[in-house]
């Protein structure tokens, strides 16, 4: 994702690269940038967010693993800071729309399960997208947990929703949410077959993030910015 973003910046005449940081660089090298984009790992990402808040930077977080509890801590840390933090679990517009549909449908179905499948190289589980989806469902249901009487009880619960994580050699990224009620099933499935699908979402996020204030979570929040 970092390499994809660098390519997008190089090819866009409206963007210019301030610096590209790796594990050997100091975060201080990001000072002076109009916008910082984070594609690291969960532990490093938290340090990047803290650095952005301390230095009143504008930051897009594209790293997975941001739980509701971690996001709440960011919200607390932002008090008194002019920093802008946009946490984007998934840059695919199709994925964001699928989550929106699922959250709305979850009001009418009590049996709910999320199955997320990624390549074996993905470190975190569940994925950031699955965590975001479970949170969106929980909010739509006012915190009412899913009915886990239909076999999903063996999957760990996140925000009251069971999530099953699968890692396969030949898979890129896929999420399927199954919603069940008496005599019916509803499946909402989204699959990504190439990182290139994220390009449009990254560029949109860069442009929208310049208009944000405070904390925002999810691509949907960015899509709604005028």
Residues 20 and 81 in one domain: yes
Q: Are residues 214 and 131 in the same domain?
A: no
Catalytic annotation, residues: 118, 122
Residue spans of alpha helices (H) in 12-41: none
Give dist(CA 76, CA 44) in Å, integer.
19
Judge whether residue 152 has pLDDT over 80: no
CA distance 44 to 58: 17
pLDDT at 9: 94
Domain count, the chain: 2
Q: How confident is the model at residue 151 (pLDDT cuts 50, 70, 90)?
A: low
Q: Residue 153 — pLDDT band, cuts 50, 70, 90? A: low
For residue 155, what is the domain's CATH number? Answer: 3.30.360.10
Question: Per-residue pLDDT averaged across 179-195, rounded?
Answer: 93
Q: State whether 135 and 83 are in the same domain.
A: no
| Together in a domain, 81 and 127 | no
| 104 in the same domain as 81 | no
3-state secondary structure of 69: helix
- In whole angstroms, what is the distance from residue 222 CA to residue 52 CA? 19
Give me the chain's average pLDDT, please: 91
Is there a single domain that holds both residue 152 and residue 206? no
Q: Cis (ω within 30 of 0) for the bond into 194?
A: no
Do 60 and 123 lie in a common domain?
A: no
DSSP conformation letters of 178-199: EEEETTEEEEEEEEE--GGGHH
Could you tell me if 43 and 81 lie in one domain?
yes
- How is residue 114 written in tokens? 């999320």
**How confident is residue 64, by pLDDT bands cut at 50, 70 and 90?**
confident
CATH number (domain holding residue 42):
3.40.50.720
**pLDDT for 65:** 81
Assign residue 192 a region: left if phi > 0, alpha if psi is -120 to 50, beta otherwise?
A: beta
**Cα separation, 37 vs 167, whole angstroms:** 26
- Residue, of 18 and 66, whose pLDDT is higher: 18
Same domain, 142 and 206: no
Q: Is there a single domain that holds both residue 132 and residue 156?
A: yes
Segments forming the whole domain that contains residue 41: 2-87+196-223
pLDDT band of 218, cuts 50, 70, 90: confident
Spatial distance between the Cα atoms of 138 and 132, rounded to a whole number of angstroms: 10
Helices (H), the chain: 2-11, 42-54, 68-77, 93-105, 128-140, 198-209, 219-223
Q: How much is the pLDDT for 224?
A: 80
For residue 19, name the pLDDT band (cuts at 50, 70, 90): very high
pLDDT at 33: 96
Same domain (yes/no): 113, 57: no
**pLDDT tens digit string along 74-99?**
999 999 899 999 999 889 989 999 99
Instruction: Please tell me what DSSP assigns to residue 25.
Output: S
Percentage above 70 pLDDT, the chain: 98
Using the predicted structure, report yes or no on whether residue 66 has a pLDDT greater than 90.
Answer: no
pLDDT at residue 140 above 80? Answer: yes
CA distances from 24 to 19, 21, 28, 49, 179 (A): 13, 8, 12, 18, 46
**Collapsing DSSP states into helix, strand and coil, what is residue 155?**
coil
What pLDDT is stored for residue 149 in this prediction?
A: 60
pLDDT at 116 over 90: yes
Q: Are 111 and 173 within one domain?
A: yes
């Amino acid at each position: 994702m970092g390499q994809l973003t660098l390519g997008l910046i190089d090819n866009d005449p409206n963007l210019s690269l301030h610096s590209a940081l790796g594990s050997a660089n100091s975060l201080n090298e990001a000072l002076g940038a109009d916008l910082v984009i984070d594609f690291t790992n969960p532990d490093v990402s938290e340090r990047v967010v803290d650095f952005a808040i301390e230095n009143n930077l504008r930051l897009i977080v594209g790293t997975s693993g941001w739980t509701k509890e971690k996001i709440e801590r960011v919200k607390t840390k932002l008090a008194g800071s002019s920093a802008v933090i946009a946490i984007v679990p998934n840059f695919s517009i199709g994925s964001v729309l699928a989550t929106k549909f699922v959250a709305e449908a979850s009001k009418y179905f009590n049996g709910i399960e999320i199955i997320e499948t990624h390549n074996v190289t993905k470190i975190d589980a569940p994925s950031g997208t699955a965590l975001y989806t479970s949170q969106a469902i929980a909010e739509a249901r006012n915190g009412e947990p899913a009915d886990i009487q239909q076999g999903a009880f063996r999957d760990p619960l996140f925000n009251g929703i069971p999530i099953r994580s699968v890692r396969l050699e030949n898979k890129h990224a896929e999420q399927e949410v199954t919603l069940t009620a008496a005599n019916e099933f509803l499946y909402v499935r989204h699959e990504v077959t190439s990182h290139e699908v994220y390009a449009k979402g990254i560029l949109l996020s860069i442009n929208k993030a310049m208009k944000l204030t405070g904390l925002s979570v999810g691509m949907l929040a960015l899509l709604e910015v005028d």
